[in-house]
Structures are given as structure tokens and as C-alpha cells.
């Protein structure tokens, strides 16, 4: 080699060794400084031994994202038996494992943190640990288990009358986590309600990170509802806060969601550019969940831009990562994008293949979420039904005792009627008798509800479960919403003895819709309401129409073949009465009686009798009385056309 005058030749290997030496020197210096800072922080905290999350975090904030430092903290705190510090460090270590998709290690570490919190008798760290376990299981699609942990955390936190700042933060996390579970179950309104509760707490305690998370989650719910513009606004708000906090993972999540919105809105180039910038940042975090979705978003955007070859590679890469870590929903999404890609290339055979795979994984996710959710409801309500039967027996015994007391008082009154003292005793007896009769009537109403509701609700839940087994998810969710609303109304009716006509109409509609499930929606219901009726002000006994509708369905329409029809009319009569007509096109009362007489197991029907007693008790002090008529409907040849029930009630 020839060199110019005054030039100096340095061998590249020597330069490399020199650079390594300099880097090693700086690394040792940094490690030494970090150790000094670590020892200083731990020595200080072991002197004061704080018990709240916020105070401990003030000491240990520089080490919260360093797995090695967190493990060293646990060892040192165990040596000094500092339980609050141990559970703090264990929880943060579990979060690190979860962020690297090591869910089994995350669960094990958070379980240990929960046990340590119990030993420390710390409600704040018990709630924190329970919430973290909820998040772990939610990331694994074990939604029911996740919901149980979050609800347990919320219930425990609410036992504290004056919660600390850390505990209020945990309550916000509980609401947020339950919102995410409702989001997975496609209960979007319930999800947004939980997120808003969480967001209100985060605002009150000025927790910007929590506020960013809730904006992101509300955006997810709105995106699922198809409200893309509103979702984009929430994603952008979350991104702004994460940028202010310099939260790398938060920015990655927000940018990924924003890119998805761009694709759905047709801004493919914009989405591609954003995803290409976001992918290497996601890979740096080591969080495989978001890495998988970034590859899927990248391939999806490229597919839309007709860059099919590179799109195919990126989609398969995303699916491969998702399969390795068992991200079922991501696998389903990837196959769906692949199906769309092949369809755009007119490769319909491959498109159909991946469409079926997408459906298979999507069905797996849906069945795991919804079937488990409804099965748990059935098991839970079956247990409540048994408790209800025990309660019913106790009430029946009390009714028997009250009736015995009433009979005894009759004899006392009869013997005392001949004297002045007898007159006084008779008067007292009559007063007591009225009280007993009122109490008996109230108990009989409760007994009636406890007999009817468990059977009806149990059958309804099984009918909804059948929709899920048949993969009719929309019907399952639709009727599950109706069912939950009806349960709330029934529970409210046990507290309030009267209701408005509007509420009664709504309750009857819900009841018929639920019962109609088992008739494959064959029953046609028509409701006619007089325009002159003020349905929101007219008062009447609660659940008074249900026995008539039940009789109509099970005795009139159930045995009938062909078209089944119920027509309910509400009419104002002479400004003093409300006339309610329930007409059906069933087999008629005579035919129903014959069928009933032939049954081996005859069910004693007491619903109409109890209803008449309730009506008599409710309207006994009114100026006008009520009336109840049953009318058999016939054609010209005396063939039964159904039954009409006419109930006339005084207007309050």
C-alpha cells in the first residue's frame, strides 16, 4: 500500500478494539453509577418503609422498567422483610413479563404479589394485584376469570370509606378492565359506560397515563360500533397525552389504532407510512402482541395498495408471531386479510381457504367468550334458584302460621261478642285480621314470583344458550340484552307495588319477546294504544298483566298449529277507566281445559286468582271499582276463534 507523505495508517482491527474498550469503559462507569443510585434509593426507602404505591414509586421510579433491578429489589426487600416493597416490585415485574407476552410468568408473579399483599394487610396492594391478574387473563382471552378478578378488586376497594390516591387509581383500573371485557363480549355501550367511570376518576386524580388509556379504549368501542370519526378523535387525544408523557408503548398502540382507522377510511398510503414508522418501535419494546398486529396492519395496507407480494409476506409474518404466542384473535384477523388479498387477485380458491380459517378462529374466540359467559350465568342462577326455593318454603310456613293465628282470633272474637269486653276484643281482632290478611296477600305475591321466575329465567337462559351453540351470535346478544332488562324490571317490581302503564307495556313486550324464543318467533304481537291515554302517569299494580299473557301463550297458543297472534289494546273509557283487552286466536278455553284434563302431571294454576286478589286489594279504596271478564270467541258456525280478556281499571 502506498501512502501520501505525512499520512498515518491505522489498522481497522485496532480501531475496533479501541472503540470496544471505550464503550466498555463507559458501560462500567454507567453500571457503577446505576448501582450507586440503586443502593441509595433502596437504603432510603428501607429507613422510612412507606406503605402506599405513590410514595414507594417516588423512591423506585427509575428502576420500574428494568427487570434486573426489580428482581434485585425483591431479593433485598425480602432480606429486610419489607412486605409493601416486595409486593410493589412483584407487581411491576409481572407487568414486564406481560408486556413480553410471558403470560404464565406474569400470572405466577402477580399471584405471589397478591399473597404478599395479604401478609402485609394492605388493601391497596391487594386491589392492585387483583387488577393485574384480571389484565393477565384478559390478554389470554380468559374473560370470565378476568372479570371475576376485576369485580373482586372493585368490591374490595369500595369497602374503604376514604380511599387513598393509589386506591382510587386501582378503582379506575377495575372499571377500565371491566370495560375491556365488555368490549370483547361486544357489549359496547356497557364498555363505554365503564371507561367513562374510569376516565372521571383519572381526571379527578390528575393521572394523565390513565386518561390516555381510557381515551384509547373509548376509541376502540366507538370503532367497533362503526363510528370511525369519533374513534379517531379519541385515539388522537390518547396519542397527544402519550406523546406528552413520552410513553413509547402508548404511542405505538395509538398509532396502530390510527393506522387501522386510515385503512378503513380508504387512506391507504397514510396508513402504510404510519405503520412503517411504528413497526420497528413495536419490535424494540419486545411486546409480541403489538408486533403481530403491526405486521398485520402493514400487510393489510400494502394489499389495499395492490403491493400483493410484500403484503402476503407481512401478513404471514404477523400470523406466525400470533400463532407462536397463541393470539387467537390476531390469527383470525390475519387470515381474514389474506382472504381479502387473494380475492383481489382473483385467486378464489386460496381466498375461500383463508376465509374458512378466519371463520374457524373467530368462532373459537366467540365460543370461548360467549358460551363460557352464558354458562356461568346459568350455573350462577341455578344456585340462586335453589336458594329461592328454600326462601319460598320459609314464606309458606309463615303463611301457615299467620292463618292459624287468624283462625284462633276468630274463636276469641266469637266468644267475646256477647259482652262489652268482647266488642273491644272483636274490634282489636278485626284490626289484627286486616293486618294479617294484608301480610298474607303480600307473602303470596312474593311466593308466586319466586315460583314463576326461576323456571322462566332458567328456560330463557337455556334458549339463549342454544342460539350460541348454533353460532347465532347476534340473536344471542339481542335476547341476552332483553333478558337482562326484564330481570331488572322484575326485581324493581318486587320493591314497588305499583308502576306506570308505560312501564307495564314495556315489561309485557319484553316478556313476550323472551317467551317467543321457544316458539321460534312464531307469535305475532300487536299493541294498540289510545292516543288520549297518558301512559306515563296512569298508575296500576306492577306485573298485573303477566299472568293473563302467560295463560294466553301456554294454554291458548301453545297447542295451536299455524299462525299465532296476540293483540293487546289500551283504551280510555269515559275519562274514568282504562280498558285493557288481550285477545288471541288460540284454541279457546274449552279445548284448553280438555287438554289440561288429559295431562298426567297437572300444574295447579293460581296466577289468575292471585291477580284478582291483588286487584281487589289495590283498588278497594277507589271511587270506582275494577272489572274482569273472559270472553270466548266463535265464528258463525260456533267454532272457537280464541279468547278475549277484558280488564277495566279505574284511572288514578
Q: Which residues, in sequence order, are CB contacts of 86 under 8 Å at separation 6+? A: 74, 77, 78, 113, 116, 120
Q: What is the pLDDT of residue 460?
A: 74
CA–CA–CA angle 309, 315, 319 (5° rounding):
145
Give burial (CB, 10 Å; 0-12/13-18/19+) of 169.
buried
**Best-predicted range by mean pLDDT (76-90, 155-169, 321-335):** 76-90
Model confidence pLDDT, tens digit, residues 227-260: 999 999 999 999 999 999 999 989 999 999 999 9
In the chain, pLDDT over 70 holds for what percent of residues? 82
DSSP 317-351: HHHHHHHHTT-HHHHHHHHHHHHHHHHHTT-HHHH
Maximum separation of any 2 CA atoms in the chain, in Å = 146
Instruction: Find residue 513's DSSP bridge partners.
Output: none
What are the extents of the domains in the chain?
A: 528-652
Model confidence pLDDT, tens digit, residues 393-432: 656 667 767 767 777 777 776 677 677 776 777 777 677 7
> Mean pLDDT throughout 482-504?
80
Global pTM exceeds 0.95 = no
Closest CA to 218 of 199, 241, 240: 199
Q: Which three-class secondary structure string do you get for 186-229?
A: CCHHHHHHHHHHHHHHHHHCCCHHHHHHHHHHHHHHHHHCCCHH
Which helix or strand (DSSP H or E) is residue 1 part of? none
Mark out the alpha helices in 496-633 (DSSP H runs): 501-515, 546-551, 589-598, 607-618
Q: Which residues, in sequence order, are CB contacts of 127 under 8 Å at separation 6+? A: 153, 156, 157, 167, 170, 171, 174
* 356 contacts 446 by C-beta, under 8 angstroms: no
Q: Which of left, alpha, beta for 540 (phi over 0: left; psi -120 to 50: alpha)?
A: beta
The backbone torsions φ and ψ at residue 572, rounded to the nearest 5 degrees and listed phi first, read -90, 130
Does the pLDDT of residue 137 top 50, yes or no? Answer: yes
Mark out the alpha helices in 120-267 (DSSP H runs): 123-139, 143-157, 165-184, 188-204, 208-224, 228-245, 248-264
Q: What is the pLDDT of residue 434?
A: 72
Q: What is the pLDDT of residue 27?
A: 46
Q: What is the pLDDT of residue 302?
A: 94
> Mean pLDDT throughout 301-324?
93
Model confidence pLDDT, tens digit, residues 139-193: 777 777 887 888 888 888 888 888 888 888 888 888 888 888 788 778 888 889 9
The backbone torsions φ and ψ at residue 577, rounded to the nearest 5 degrees and listed phi first, read -135, 155
Binned at pLDDT 50, 70 and 90, residue 614 comes out as confident
Domain 528-652 is of which CATH architecture?
2-Layer Sandwich (3.30)
Does the pLDDT of residue 605 top 60, yes or no? Answer: no
Closest CA to 456 of 511, 504, 394, 497: 511
Q: What is the pLDDT of residue 433?
A: 67
In the chain, pLDDT over 90 holds for what percent of residues? 36
Q: What is the pLDDT of residue 445?
A: 57
Give the three cell numbers for residue 424.
273491644
CA distances from 649 to 507, 538, 576, 615, 622 (A): 18, 10, 9, 9, 10
How many CB atoms are located within 10 Å of the residue 10 CB?
Answer: 8
Please count the helices (runs of H) and the strands (runs of E) in the chain. Answer: 24, 7
How many CB atoms are located within 10 Å of the residue 546 CB?
Answer: 21
As a whole number of angstroms, the distance between CA 332 and CA 366 comes to: 11
How many CB atoms are located within 10 Å of the residue 95 CB?
Answer: 19
Amino acid at each position: 500500500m502506498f501512502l501520501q507523505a505525512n499520512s498515518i495508517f491505522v489498522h481497522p482491527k485496532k480501531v475496533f478494539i479501541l472503540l470496544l474498550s471505550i464503550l466498555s469503559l463507559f458501560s462500567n462507569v454507567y453500571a457503577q453509577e446505576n448501582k450507586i443510585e440503586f443502593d441509595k434509593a433502596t437504603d432510603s426507602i428501607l429507613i422510612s418503609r412507606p406503605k402506599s404505591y405513590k410514595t414507594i414509586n417516588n423512591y423506585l421510579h427509575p428502576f420500574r422498567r428494568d427487570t434486573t433491578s426489580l428482581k434485585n429489589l425483591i431479593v433485598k426487600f425480602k432480606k429486610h422483610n419489607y412486605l409493601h416493597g416486595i409486593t410493589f416490585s412483584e407487581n411491576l415485574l409481572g407487568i414486564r413479563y406481560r408486556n413480553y407476552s410471558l403470560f404464565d410468568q406474569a400470572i405466577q408473579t402477580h399471584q405471589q404479589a397478591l399473597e404478599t399483599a395479604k401478609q402485609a394487610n394492605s388493601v391497596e396492594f391487594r386491589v392492585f394485584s387483583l387488577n393485574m391478574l384480571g389484565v393477565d387473563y384478559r390478554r389470554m382471552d380468559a374473560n370470565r376469570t378476568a372479570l371475576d378478578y376485576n369485580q373482586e378488586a372493585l368490591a374490595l376497594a369500595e369497602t374503604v370509606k376514604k380511599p387513598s390516591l393509589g386506591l382510587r387509581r386501582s378503582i379506575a383500573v377495575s372499571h377500565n378492565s371491566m370495560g375491556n371485557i365488555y368490549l370483547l363480549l361486544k357489549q359496547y355501550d356497557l364498555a363505554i359506560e365503564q371507561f367513562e367511570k374510569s376516565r372521571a376518576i383519572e381526571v379527578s386524580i390528575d393521572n394523565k397515563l390513565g386518561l390516555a388509556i381510557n381515551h384509547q379504549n373509548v376509541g376502540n368501542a366507538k370503532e367497533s360500533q362503526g363510528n370511525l370519526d369519533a374513534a379517531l378523535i379519541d385515539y388522537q387525544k390518547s396519542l397527544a397525552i402519550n406523546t406528552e408523557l413520552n410513553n413509547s408503548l402508548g404511542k405505538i398502540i395509538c398509532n396502530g389504532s390510527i393506522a387501522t382507522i386510515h385503512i378503513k377510511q380508504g387512506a391507504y398510503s397514510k396508513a402504510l407510512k404510519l405503520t412503517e414508522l411504528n413497526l420497528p418501535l413495536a419490535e424494540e419494546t419486545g411486546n409480541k402482541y403489538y408486533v403481530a398486529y403491526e405486521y398485520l396492519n402493514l400487510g393489510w395496507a400494502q394489499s389495499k395498495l395492490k403491493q400483493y407480494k410484500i403484503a402476503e409476506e407481512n401478513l404471514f409474518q404477523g400470523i406466525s408471531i400470533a400463532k407462536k404466542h397463541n393470539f387467537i384473535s390476531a390469527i383470525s384477523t390475519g387470515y381474514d386479510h389474506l382472504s381479502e388479498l387473494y380475492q383481489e387477485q382473483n385467486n378464489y380458491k386460496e381466498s375461500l381457504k383463508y376465509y374458512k380459517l378466519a371463520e374457524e378462529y373467530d368462532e373459537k374466540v366467540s365460543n370461548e367468550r360467549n358460551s363460557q359467559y352464558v354458562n356461568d350465568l346459568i350455573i350462577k342462577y341455578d344456585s340462586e334458584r335453589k336458594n329461592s326455593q328454600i326462601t319460598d318454603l320459609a314464606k309458606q310456613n309463615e303463611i301457615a302460621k299467620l292463618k292459624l293465628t287468624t283462625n284462633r282470633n276468630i274463636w276469641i272474637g266469637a266468644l267475646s261478642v256477647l259482652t262489652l269486653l268482647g266488642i273491644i276484643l272483636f274490634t282489636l281482632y278485626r284490626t289484627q285480621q286486616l293486618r294479617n290478611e294484608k301480610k298474607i296477600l303480600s307473602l303470596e305475591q312474593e311466593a308466586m314470583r319466586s315460583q314463576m321466575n326461576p323456571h322462566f329465567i332458567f328456560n330463557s337462559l337455556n334458549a339463549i344458550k342454544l342460539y350460541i351453540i348454533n353460532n347465532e351470535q347476534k340473536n344471542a346478544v339481542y335476547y341476552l340484552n332483553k333478558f337482562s332488562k326484564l330481570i331488572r324490571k322484575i326485581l324493581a317490581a318486587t320493591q314497588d307495588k305499583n308502576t306506570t302503564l308505560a312501564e307495564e307495556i314495556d315489561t309485557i313486550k319484553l316478556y313476550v319477546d323472551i317467551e317467543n324464543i321457544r316458539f321460534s318467533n312464531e307469535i305475532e304481537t300487536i299493541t294498540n294504544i289510545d292516543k288520549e291515554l297518558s301512559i306515563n302517569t296512569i298508575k296500576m299494580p306492577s306485573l298485573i298483566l303477566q299472568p293473563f299473557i302467560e295463560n294466553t301463550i301456554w294454554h291458548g297458543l301453545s297447542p295451536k298449529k299455524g299462525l299465532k297472534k296476540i293483540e293487546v289494546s289500551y283504551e280510555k273509557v269515559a275519562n274514568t277507566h282504562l280498558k285493557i283487552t288481550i285477545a288471541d286466536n288460540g284454541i279457546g278455553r274449552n279445548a284448553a281445559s280438555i287438554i289440561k284434563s288429559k295431562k298426567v302431571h297437572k300444574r295447579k294454576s293460581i296466577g289468575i286468582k292471585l291477580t284478582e286478589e291483588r286487584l281487589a286489594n289495590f283498588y278497594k279504596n277507589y271511587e270506582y271499582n275494577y272489572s274482569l271478564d273472559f270472553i270466548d270467541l266463535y265464528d258463525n258456525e260456533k267454532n272457537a276463534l280464541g279468547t278475549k280478556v277484558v280488564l277495566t281499571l279505574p284511572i288514578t
